[in-house]
Every structure is written in structure tokens, then in C-alpha cells.
């Protein structure tokens, strides 16, 4: 959410940013905020004038009463009553306007970084760099669900009966591999100086609207019926929400956190949930990294975060590339975002396995998270998040890139301690 004062001082800059995000339907919102802000300030000014007028008339009433001019005093008293009615109306309006402004400001997108490429959608994202040599083996690489079923590691049929589309049972060595990847990701981030958390898996609506846009919320979140609670779509929601309405001493920054959680997503607009497969699913687990830092340090941390993901995947012998998200592909709160994509030997292309985002001070401003400097002044910190690993989707890349011709799966050295020393998952 932008600062109202910034919008008032830079309306054309805010409008140009909206155009860069190809959201021209939001352009009138800027003028609406300016008009409401002007109405609010005029109401305050008018209120001050009316209070001064009321004070003067009340003083005159006392003088008239002292002189015995009851008729004149009553006439002025009627004017004071009218002033009070106006003041009440103005006071009510002064309460309403800030909420109206906030609702609009929550919809106006954050100012994107100057380095963000301009484009309408994800088809115009820009490849930055590749890490590792993408390989297509001499043998055919089956669909990931077929690989898992051959290893007796997944049960889609039972999950359809218990839960419907978008769910699955993992079992045997594949279930163990899933857990091993999460445990390795946890230790990988701890070794890089991040503090490990397991957060609440449900959060209140004020936190939801603080960490994400309304569109994201509508498309992602499951609401708990009859309660002001939502299932989280990522642990970033709980972890940033942890700081709601707090003042952080500047000397404590940066907060570098890594968190595990199950994640729940509606996957609205998924265009036909797959019957067999774990690419688009309603429930999965994820290891996340979160940073709360000084504004001047956020771009440095942005680079640290995405590089952590690249390093993690490379230790598991999975080629990856980084993709800069264009303006039209950025969620409204994001200043800058970069996707990490893994190589798929079967599809002979890369696909998304993680996303690194700098949200500037948007989340901090929405949740009233402030930092207190040594001199007592306060400011909003920047927040960032990035996926370490989301195993269901990452499992696709892992299985395809470590598949042997006989259908067995090679276990990279870094993961073997978490698999009981196993070097290969054999065909069942």
C-alpha cells in the first residue's frame, strides 16, 4: 500500500506505474483518493472554523444573558445548536473518509522497481541466467506420475475418493524422499544463518489483507467457516503477520527467518485440475525464507534470497534458470520478483519451482510494522520472501533429472544422510 502523502505529491507517477502494469481501469482511483483526501482536509479546516465560531457565539450568549437580552441569547443558542449539528456531521465524515481512502489504496499497485522489464504477462518475462547444463537422456523420460507409480510411491485413486481432485497419498520411498528434501532444506537454510520457525497454519483476516492483494486472496485462500480464520497458502503469511502492530528496534534488523508449513490453495483458474500429477494441487508442504530489513538493504537481500534457491537446487544436481518477472506479471504488492525454474528433461523446457519477491514497505505499511531508530524516529521496513523448496512440484524436477534408465532414482550425495544412506531408490 502506498503512502497517501506520496500519492498526493506524485499522482502522475502513480498513474504511470498503473499503466506499466497494464491496469488502466485503476487510473480513476488515483483521482478518487486525491478528492477524498482534499475533502478530509477541508472537513478538518471547516471543523476548526466552526469550533472557533461556536466558542465566540457561546461567549456572546453569556454576555447577552448578563445584560438580560434573553431573546438575543436564545437566537444565538439556536445558531450554536446548528453549528453542533454541522460538527457532528463533519466528525462522522472525518471517520468515514480514511476508511474509504484505505480501501482504495489497498487496490492501487505498489511502485515497481526501475529495473523491472515492462510487459503484459508472464509470456514477456525475461531470462537472466542459467545454472547447470540441461540434459536430455538417451532413454524416454516418463510422466512424473508414471515414475512415482512405478516406484509404488503415490496413490491418486484413493485420494480422489477421500478428498477429490488435486490431492494424493505419498508412500514408501517417495514419501521418505519428500520428507528428506524438506529436512535438507531446513538445515540448508539454518546453515546460512536463518532462524527456523514452524508458524501457525491459520491466520486472521486482518493478516491476510495485510500480506496479499484482494485478487490473490480470492484466488488462493480457504476460509474456515464460522470463524475469522483462513488456511495459509504459504508460511510467508504467518511469518510476516508475526510482526503485526509491532515496533522493531533498528539494531535487531535484519530478521532472517526460514519456515516450514503445509500450504492450502484453491488454485482458482487452474484450467482443469489434473487427475494424475502433483503440479497443481490443493495441499502441499514448503520451506520458505523471509527477510525483514532496512529499505536501503532490501535489494541486496533480494539477491541473497534467490541465490540461496539456485544453490539449493544445484546441490541436488538439478539445472535451473532465473527469470525476471515483467511488470504485468507482478502482484500488486510486489516491487520486484524473480522466478527460479527447474529443467524438465521430459518436456525439454524449464518450469517454475520457486519465486523470490521484494515487497518494499507495502506489507509493513498494511500491517503497521515499524522500526524505531536510535534517535526515536520510526519508519516502515521492507519485507522479502522466497521459496526454498516446495517438494511436490520440486519432486517432478528431482525425479526427472535423477532418473536412471531402469526406472530407479539416483540420490545425490547431499541428500543421502536424510535417506538413511540410500544411494538409489530401486524399482519396486
- Which residues are CB-contacts of 301 (< 8 A; sequence separation ≥ 6)? 254, 291, 293, 358, 384
The Cα–Cα gap between 310 and 51 comes to 63
Q: Are 327 and 18 in contact (CB under 8 A)?
A: no
For residues 165 and 34, state if they share a domain. no
Q: Check which CATH number belongs to the domain holding 31 and give it.
A: 1.10.287.40
As a whole number of angstroms, the distance between CA 206 and CA 229 comes to 10
Residue 90 near residue 50, CB atoms below 8 Å: yes
Residues 87 and 130 in one domain: no
What residue ranges of the chain have pLDDT lower than 50?
A: 270-275
Number of domains composing the chain? 2
Q: Please list, in sequence order, all residues whose beta carbon lies within 8 angstroms of the beta carbon of residue 65, skipping any fewer than 6 positions away.
A: 73
User: In the chain, what are the helix, strand and coil shares in percent, each to the nearest 5?
Assistant: 50, 20, 30
What's CA 157's distance to the chain center, in Å?
A: 33
Co-location of 184 and 311 in the same domain: yes
Distance CA 42, CA 38 (A): 6
Cell numbers found for residue 12: 502522475
Collapse the DSSP code of 120 into the 3-class scheme (helix H, G, I; strand E, B; otherwise coil) and give the result. Answer: coil
Q: How far apart are CA 250 and CA 25, in angstroms?
A: 39
- In terms of Cβ atoms closer than 10 Å to its own Cβ (0-12, 13-18, 19+), residue 269 is exposed
Asked whether residue 149 falls in the same domain as residue 73, the answer is no
Residue 232 maps to a domain: yes
Contact 263, 230 (CB under 8 A): no
Q: Using one digit for the tens of pLDDT, what is the confidence trace for 63-74?
A: 888 888 888 888
Which of 46, 73, 105 delimits the end of a domain?
105
Question: HSE (CB half, 13 Å, CA atoms) of 45?
Answer: 6
Residue 320 and residue 29: Cα distance in Å, rounded?
A: 40
Q: What single-letter DSSP state applies at residue 271?
A: S
Considering the domain architecture, whether residues 184 and 51 belong to the same structural domain is answered as no
Residue 274: what are its φ and ψ, rounded to 5°?
-65, 140
Instruction: Say yes or no: 237 and 97 in one domain.
Output: no
pLDDT at 276: 62
Domain end call among 39, 72, 105: 105
Are residue 148 and residue 85 in the same domain, yes or no? no
Shortest CA distance to 57 belongs to which of 86, 88, 84? 84
Confidence at residue 278, expressed as pLDDT on a 0 to 100 scale = 76
β-pairing verdict for 409-410 and 424-425 = antiparallel
Residues 101, 133: one domain?
no
Q: Would you say residue 131 lies in a domain? A: yes
The reply to whether omega before 254 is within 30° of 0 (cis) is: yes
Q: Is residue 63 domain-resident?
A: yes
Is residue 214 within 8 A of residue 107, CB to CB? The reply is yes
Q: 179 and 35, same structural domain?
A: no
Whether 115 is in a domain gets the answer no
Q: Which residues have CB under 8 Å from 141's CB, separation 6+?
A: 345, 346, 400, 403
User: Is residue 326 within 8 Å of residue 119, measured between CB atoms?
Assistant: yes
CB 392 within 8 A of CB 166: no
Whether 116 is in a domain gets the answer: no
Tell me, yes or no, whether 179 lies in a domain.
yes
Residue the block writes with cell 485413486:
157
CA triple 343-344-347, angle to 5 deg: 135
Task: Report the first-to-last Cα separation within the chain, whole angstroms.
Answer: 53
DSSP-assigned states of every residue in 25-50: GGHHHHHHHHHHHHHHHHHHHHHHHH
- Domain with 23 in it: 4-105
Residues 143 and 101 in one domain: no
Q: Which letter does DSSP use for residue 376 in this model?
A: S
Which CATH number fits the domain that encloses residue 352? 3.30.930.10
Q: 85 and 134 share a domain?
A: no
Asked if residue 357 belongs to a domain, the reply is yes
User: Is residue 114 one of the residues assigned to a domain?
Assistant: no
Q: Which helix (H) or strand (E) holds 178?
A: helix 172-191
Assign 365 to helix, strand or coil: helix
Give percent above pLDDT 70 in the chain. Answer: 98
CA distance 160 to 267: 17
pLDDT of residue 263: 93
Other CB atoms closer than 10 Å to residue 67's CB: what's the count? 10
| pLDDT for res 264 | 92
Signed CA dihedral, 360, 363, 366, 368: sign only: negative
Dihedral sign from CA coordinates of 56, 60, 62, 63:
positive
Task: Choose one of 76, 105, 134: the last residue of a domain.
Answer: 105
330 in helix, strand or coil?
Answer: coil
Whether 243 and 362 map to the same domain: the answer is: yes
Amino acid at each position: 500500500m502506498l503512502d497517501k502523502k506520496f500519492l498526493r505529491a506524485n499522482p502522475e507517477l502513480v498513474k504511470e506505474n498503473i499503466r506499466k502494469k497494464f491496469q488502466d481501469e485503476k487510473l480513476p482511483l488515483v483521482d478518487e483518493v486525491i478528492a477524498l483526501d482534499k475533502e478530509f482536509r477541508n472537513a478538518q479546516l471547516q471543523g476548526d472554523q466552526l469550533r472557533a465560531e461556536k466558542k465566540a457565539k457561546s461567549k456572546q450568549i453569556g454576555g447577552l444573558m448578563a445584560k438580560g437580552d434573553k431573546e438575543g441569547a436564545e437566537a444565538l443558542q439556536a445558531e450554536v445548536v446548528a453549528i453542533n449539528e454541522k460538527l457532528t456531521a463533519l466528525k462522522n465524515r472525518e471517520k468515514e473518509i480514511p476508511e474509504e481512502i484505505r480501501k482504495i489504496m489497498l487496490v492501487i499497485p505498489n511502485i515497481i522497481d526501475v529495473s523491472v522489464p515492462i510487459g503484459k504477462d508472464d509470456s514477456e518475462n525475461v531470462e537472466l541466467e542459467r545454472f547447470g547444463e540441461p540434459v536430455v537422456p538417451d532413454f524416454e523420460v516418463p510422466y512424473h506420475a508414471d515414475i512415482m507409480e512405478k516406484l509404488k510411491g503415490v496413490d491418486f485413486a484413493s485420494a480422489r475418493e477421500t478428498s477429490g481432485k488435486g490431492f494424493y497419498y505419498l508412500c514408501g520411498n517417495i514419501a521418505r524422499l519428500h520428507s528428506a528434501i524438506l529436512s535438507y532444506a531446513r538445515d540448508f537454510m539454518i546453515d546460512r544463518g536463518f532462524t527456523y520457525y514452524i508458524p501457525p497454519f491459520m491466520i486472521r483476516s486482518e493478516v491476510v489483507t495485510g500480506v496479499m492483494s484482494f485478487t490473490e486472496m480470492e484466488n488462493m485462500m480457504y476460509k474456515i467457516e464460522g470463524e475469522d480464520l483462513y488456511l495459509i497458502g504459504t508460511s510467508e503469511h504467518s511469518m510476516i503477520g508475526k510482526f503485526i502492530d509491532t515496533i522493531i528496534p533498528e539494531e535487531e534488523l535484519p530478521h532472517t527467518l526460514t519456515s516450514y508449513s503445509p500450504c492450502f490453495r484453491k488454485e482458482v483458474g487452474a484450467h482443469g485440475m489434473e487427475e494424475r500429477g502433483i503440479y497443481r494441487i490443493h495441499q502441499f508442504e514448503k520451506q520458505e525464507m523471509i527477510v525483514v530489513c532496512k529499505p536501503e538493504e532490501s535489494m541486496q537481500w533480494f539477491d541473497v534470497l534467490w541465490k540461496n534457491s539456485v544453490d539449493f537446487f544445484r546441490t541436488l544436481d538439478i539445472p535451473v534458470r532465473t527469470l525476471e518477472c515483467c511488470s504485468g506479471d507482478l502482484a500488486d504488492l510486489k516491487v520486484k520478483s524473480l522466478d527460479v525454474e527447474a529443467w524438465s528433461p521430459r518436456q525439454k523446457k524449464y518450469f517454475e519451482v520457486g519465486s523470490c519477491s521484494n515487497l518494499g514497505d507495502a506489507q509493513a505499511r498494511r500491517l503497521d510494522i515499524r522500526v524505531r531508530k536510535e534517535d526515536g524516529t520510526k519508519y516502515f521496513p521492507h519485507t522479502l520472501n522466497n521459496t526454498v523448496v516446495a517438494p511436490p512440484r520440486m519432486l517432478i524436477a528431482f525425479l526427472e533429472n535423477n532418473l536412471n534408465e531402469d526406472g530407479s532414482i539416483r540420490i545425490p550425495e547431499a541428500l543421502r544422510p536424510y535417506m538413511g544412506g540410500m544411494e538409489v531408490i530401486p524399482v519396486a
